[in-house]
Amino acid sequence: MSSAAALGRLRTPLGSAPPQARQATDRRVAVGLRVIATVLGAYLVSRVALVVDATVLAAQHHTGVVSILAPWDAGYYIGIAVSGYPSHVPIVAYQGSTVAFFPLFPLLGRCLAAITGMPIVWGLVSISWLGGAAAALGAVLLVAPRYGSRRAMQAGVLLAVFPGSVVAGIVYADSLAVAFAIGALAAMDRRRLVLAGLLGAAGTASLSLMLVPLCAALLAAALVARRLSGLLAPVLAASGAAAYLGYLWAHTGSPYTWSRVERAGWMVHLSLPWRGVTAFGAYAFSAPGVTVVTSASVAVALVGLVALAVLRAPLAWLSLSVIVIAAVTFDGGAWIAPRFVFDAFPLVLAVGIALPRRAFWPGAVLSMSVLVYMLQAYSPPNRQFLNL
């Protein structure tokens, strides 16, 4: 070894990384920060577009912005955040009972309102927005290890601007549940079983629709990994919903309160979608506007399933997607709509991953345009659009 080489070696601090390794690390950090900034930027632009759209709609219909951002089921979440759950639910009150809605979203909205002093409705809107941002960033963490940073960026951006993410701009629990579900799957990939289970529990405590799909996805991940300890994650995930159902049992005196309200008050039961007694048969193709929305939602779901197959995506992703779509297809109170495709988020991620680079940004812009249109379509002043 030459004296110059020896001197250079002595000048290198003991345990320090070689310059090439440091440069590689710096490059990875720079790429990661650029991906995060791109995804967050797209999400913020989409939320600003929704707020502007809501302001214009409110002015057109001589109402407040709150009435646009708190449509349909939002009233139930606001009621829970303000007054909690009833201790007695007579049969005549099954229709429209707040018992059908899981508690974590209104609880967090109430806490945020209490901490900041903002009205409860704005606390709920804020939680919805934060949930959407967390879901988009979580998508990057979920996708990047398998498909690389560029495709992770595309997946995160598409989830942020997907038309179904309109629920991440209004008083709905879906964005919060999706964020927790994505976090649970990402933690499961990293073999952090307790964290995956706890995030899953938060997801199932946020949205009833997430209970079976998320637990099945975590179970699939555990089976693929062939680790008996992996079963801890789906068990913990189920505890979120179980805690709420146990609370209702103690609060109302019956273990069947939630299931009775769901069936009698919200038409939630197994049914064939082409029968007129279902929501699918009654509403999905009842007017030109809703026919377009339903047809587009079914098409995106099918494309997403094909993309999952082509990408050879994890069984957990496929399980969650198929169960969510099946649940709303064969349910008496719902049908395939943009909101539920968003809940089946691996479908959206798969499309984002599979899109060619040249087609991605035009597709993202088109998706954001449809997102703005969805807020107009689902706002209460335009209820005739949906014929509801």
The per-residue pLDDT for range 16-43, each reduced to its tens digit, is: 556 776 766 767 777 788 999 999 999 9
Q: Does 11 reside within a domain?
A: no
One-letter amino acid of 158: L
Q: Does 249 reside within a domain?
A: yes
Q: Does 7 reside within a domain?
A: no
Return the pLDDT at 325: 94
| Residue 87: exposure state from Cβ atoms within 10 A (0-12, 13-18, ≥19) | exposed
One-letter amino acid of 30: A
Return the pLDDT at 319: 97
Q: Does 18 reside within a domain?
A: no
Return the pLDDT at 72: 83
Name the stretches of the chain with pLDDT < 70: 1-18, 21, 23-24, 26, 90-96, 269, 273-278, 380-388
In the block, which residue shows the tokens 């409860």?
A: 120
Return the pLDDT at 62: 85
Helices H / strands E in the chain, number of each: 20, 0
Q: Does 4 reside within a domain?
A: no
Return the pLDDT at 245: 95
Alpha carbon dihedral 235, 237, 243, 249, in 10-degree steps, equals -70
What pLDDT digit, counting tens, does each position of 137-175 carry?
A: 999 999 999 999 999 999 999 999 999 999 999 999 999
CA distances from 32 to 27, 152, 154, 223, 346 (A): 9, 10, 13, 31, 21
Q: 376: closest CA among 29, 127, 17, 69?
A: 69
Return the pLDDT at 2: 46
For residue 37, the enclosing domain spans 31-386
Q: List, as own/partner pairs, every contact residues 374-377 make where C-beta atoms lie below 8 angstroms and the sequence separation is at least 24, other chains included.
A: 374/163, 374/164, 374/166, 374/293, 374/338, 375/50, 375/53, 375/54, 375/57, 375/68, 375/166, 375/169, 375/170, 376/53, 376/57, 377/289, 377/293
Return the pLDDT at 97: 82
CB 103 within 8 A of CB 74: no
Q: Does 17 reside within a domain?
A: no
Return the pLDDT at 283: 73
Structure tokens at 134: 């967390």
Q: Does 59 reside within a domain?
A: yes
Q: Does 114 reside within a domain?
A: yes
Name every residue whose Cβ is closer than 8 Å to that of residue 61 and which is 6 or more positions away in sequence: 379, 381
How many C-beta neighbours within 10 Å does residue 359 have?
10
Return the pLDDT at 12: 46
CB 132 within 8 A of CB 50: no
Number of domains composing the chain: 1
Return the pLDDT at 377: 78
Return the pLDDT at 41: 96
